[in-house]
Amino acid sequence: MNIDGYTRTCGLIGNPVEHTLSPLIHNTLAEKLSHNLVYVPFHVEEGQVLSALQGAYALHLLGLNVTVPYKSQVMEGLLRIDELAEKIGAVNTLVRVEGGFKGYNTDMPGLYRAMSSEGIQIEGQEMILLGAGGAARAVAFLCASRNAARVYLLNRSLKKAQAVAGEVNEKTGKDVIIPMALSDYQRLPEQKFLAIQATSVGLYPDTAHAVIEDEAFYRKIHTGYDLIYKPSNTRFMQLVQKQGGKAYHGLKMLLYQGIIAYELWNNLSVSEEMASEVYEALKEKMGIYS
Ligand code: NAP
């Protein structure tokens, strides 16, 4: 990497940022595409996110990613917000424009591109969505806007499931998200589903559990997509596979949310060949050799 007076800077703001894989995605892309660009993580303390934005603009940063806990909070400091991100209520990518930053959400299109690359379709599918947190909310928008047939949204807190379902159905003008308490999973219809696991249960270091342990539940799943990528074979994935279903982890979603951000900052398209090369680097870093 040759840093000189022309080097453009992008970065990540969040707290914590120490374990992020995003520098690997963006610095690999910059290197392979011979762009004079560097990507660095910035640890931003609580209460400092708006000052961080002003500083980033003053320092002529090209763009930023935003992670936990600032994906919603950062929105009040933006000049403009993309329509999709506005609907989702969360922003994970900021693009420098004249006078400030414009906010986007690349998590949702990232998941869509990741699923498409595995040949998984949302259109017309009967689905289960586990969770009603920030990620699940974006996934619910994705499913409704991509015309899933029906999505049973199961969450530990029924109130949160109802709130997310109500909001997504209203904003997309569709009546496809059906809220349920997690404990009511036995009431799901007897059929096969595409299931997306969007809770934090099973995330490293607490890897021994899945949000539902009952094998009967997993007999209803033909494909299980876990947003978690650490570990790369979660307990949820193991339970899906044990009942004959196909299972995927969330590393490709991470890859594509990063690639879409890089495309926005540099106004270009990243080829699938290049995406595969970056994915190999990510897998190597994670110790995934399959
Ligand atoms: P979040 O907003 O904190 O939501 C956490 C969700 O997990 C809530 O639905 C919560 O239910 C549920 N939950 C937590 N502990 C539980 C337990 N013991 N039993 C049952 N449910 C439990 O988190 P998030 O930002 O949505 O992230 C969710 C997951 O997605 C994380 O594991 C994250 O790593 C992953 N993710 C991956 C990517 C990617 O690029 N691959 C991107 C974003 C997120 P309650 O509402 O009842 O508390």
Does the Cβ of 211 fall within 6 Å of ligand 1? yes
Q: Which atom of ligand 1 is nearest to the CA of 257?
A: 40
Residue nearest to atom 18 of ligand 1 (CA): 201
| pTM (two decimals) | 0.96
Does the Cβ of 131 fall within 6 Å of ligand 1?
yes
d(CA 121, CA 50): 38
Ligand 1 center–CA 160 separation, angstroms: 12
Kindly list the catalytic residues: 71
Max CA separation in the chain (angstroms): 63
**What's phi and psi for 208, nearest 5 deg?**
-80, -15
Best probe residue, ligand 1, of 117, 130, 199 (max atoms within 8 Å of C-beta): 199
- What's the confidence (pLDDT) of residue 202? 96
pLDDT the model gives residue 1: 74
Determine whether the shortest distance from the Cβ of 157 to ligand 1 is under 6 A.
yes
Tens-binned pLDDT, residue by residue, of the chain (290 aa): 789 999 999 999 999 999 999 999 999 999 999 999 999 999 999 999 999 999 999 999 999 999 999 999 999 999 999 999 999 999 999 999 999 999 999 999 999 999 999 999 999 999 999 999 989 999 999 999 999 999 999 999 999 999 999 999 999 999 999 999 999 999 999 999 999 999 999 999 999 999 999 999 999 999 999 999 999 999 999 999 999 999 999 999 999 999 999 999 999 999 999 999 999 999 999 998 87
| Phi, psi of 85, deg, nearest 5 | -65, -35
For residues 175 and 164, what is the distance between their CA atoms, to the nearest angstrom? 12
d(CA 121, CA 149): 11
| Spacing of C-alpha 70 from chain mean position | 14
| Region label for 59, one of left (φ > 0), alpha (ψ between -120 and 50) or beta (otherwise) | alpha
Pocket flag, ligand 1, residue 229 (CB < 6 Å): yes
CB-CB neighbours of 105 under 10 Å: 25
> Which runs of consecutive H residues, i.e. helices, occur in the chain?
22-32, 49-58, 83-88, 107-117, 134-145, 158-172, 215-218, 235-242, 251-266, 272-286
Q: How far is the CA of 275 from the centre of ligand 1 (A)?
A: 26
Residue 289 is predicted with a pLDDT of 82
